Structure 1
Amino acid sequence: MVSFDHREEGTPEESWRQAGILDRPVRWDLPDDVAHLVVLAAHPDDETLGAGGLLARAARAGLATTVLVATDGEGSHPASGTYGPAEVARLRRYELLDATHALATGATLHLAGLPDGGLREAREPLARAVRAAIATHPGPTVVCAPWRGDPHRDHRVLGEVAAEVVGSDELLEYPIWAWHRADPSDPGGSAAALPWDRLRGVRLSDDELGAKREALRAHRSQVDGLSSAPGDEPVLHAGMLAHFTREVEVFVAEGRAVEDGAPGAAAPPSARASLPEEFFAAFYARHTDPWGFESRWYEQRKREITLAALPEQRYADALEVGCSTGVLTVALAARCDRVLGIDIADRPLAVARERLPGHVRLEKRTTPDDWPEGRFDLVVLSEVGYYWGGPDLDRGVDRAVGSLASDGVLVACHWRHPVEEYPTSGDDVHRVLQERSGLATLVHHEEEDFVLDVLVPAPAASVARRTGLL
Structure 2
Amino acid sequence: MIELRTSKLSEVAVLGAHCDDIAIGLGGTLLMLSSAHPRLRVHAFVLSGSDSRREIEERHALAALCPGAELEFTILDIPDGHAPAYWDPIKSGLEGFRRSCEPDVVFAPHRGDAHQDHRLLAELVPTVFRDHLVLGYEILKWEADTPRPTIYHPLTRTVAEEKARLLMKHYPSQTSHDWFDEEAFFGLSRLRGVQSRQVHAEAFTLDKATIRFGRN
TM-score (structure 2 length as normaliser): 0.77
Deviation at 1:235, TM superposition (A): 5.8
Aligned to 2:207: 254
Structure 1 gaps, min length 5 = 1-22, 74-88, 183-189, 226-232, 261-470
Matched, 1:199 2:150: yes
Amino acid at match of 1:215: L
Matched, 1:52 2:27: yes
Contact 1:58 1:64 in 2 (8 A): no
Aligned to 1:163: 126
Aligned to 1:91: 53
Secondary structure of the corresponding residue to residue 148 of structure 1: coil
**Of 89, 92, 99, the match for 1:125:** 89
Secondary structure of the corresponding residue to residue 51 of structure 1: helix
Amino acid at match of 1:54: T
Aligned to 2:137: 174
Aligned to 1:67: 44
Deviation at 1:108, TM superposition (A): 1.1
Percent identical among aligned pairs is 24
Aligned to 1:364: none
**Of 162, 172, 183, the match for 1:220:** 172
CA offsets 1:188-226 (integer angstroms, 9 cap, x no match): xx77xx4x4x61000013453344224312111112x3x
CA distance in 2, matches of 1:252, 1:243: 19
Matching of residues 345-356 of structure 1 within 5 Å: none
CA offsets 1:13-63 (integer angstroms, 9 cap, x no match): xxxxxxxxxx8xx6555x215421111011111111101122222322122
Larger Rg: 1
Amino acid at match of 2:65: L
CA offsets 1:312-362 (integer angstroms, 9 cap, x no match): xxxxxxxxxxxxxxxxxxxxxxxxxxxxxxxxxxxxxxxxxxxxxxxxxxx
**Of 159, 163, 166, the match for 1:208:** 159
**Of 173, 185, 190, the match for 1:241:** 185
CA distance in 1, matches of 2:130, 2:187: 28
- Closer, same or farther: CA 53–241 of 1 in aligned 2, 3 Å: closer
CA distance in 2, matches of 1:90, 1:172: 28
Amino acid at match of 2:159: E
Contact 1:147 1:159 in 2 (8 A): yes
Secondary structure of the corresponding residue to residue 181 of structure 1: coil
Aligned to 1:374: none
CA distance in 2, matches of 1:28, 1:93: 35
Aligned to 1:321: none
Matching of residues 52-451 of structure 1 within 5 Å: 52-60=27-35, 61-62=37-38, 63-72=40-49, 90-105=52-67, 106-138=70-102, 140-167=103-130, 170-177=133-140, 180-182=142-144, 194=147, 196=148, 199-206=150-157, 208-217=159-168, 218-223=170-175, 225=176, 236-237=180-181, 240-246=184-190, 247-256=200-209, 259=211
Structure 2 gaps, min length 5 = 191-199
Secondary structure of the corresponding residue to residue 125 of structure 1: helix
Secondary structure of the corresponding residue to residue 62 of structure 2: helix
CA distance in 2, matches of 1:249, 1:166: 22
Secondary structure of the corresponding residue to residue 149 of structure 1: coil
CA distance in 1, matches of 2:108, 2:101: 18
> Which 4+ stretches in 1 moved above 6 angstroms?
none
CA offsets 1:393-442 (integer angstroms, 9 cap, x no match): xxxxxxxxxxxxxxxxxxxxxxxxxxxxxxxxxxxxxxxxxxxxxxxxxx
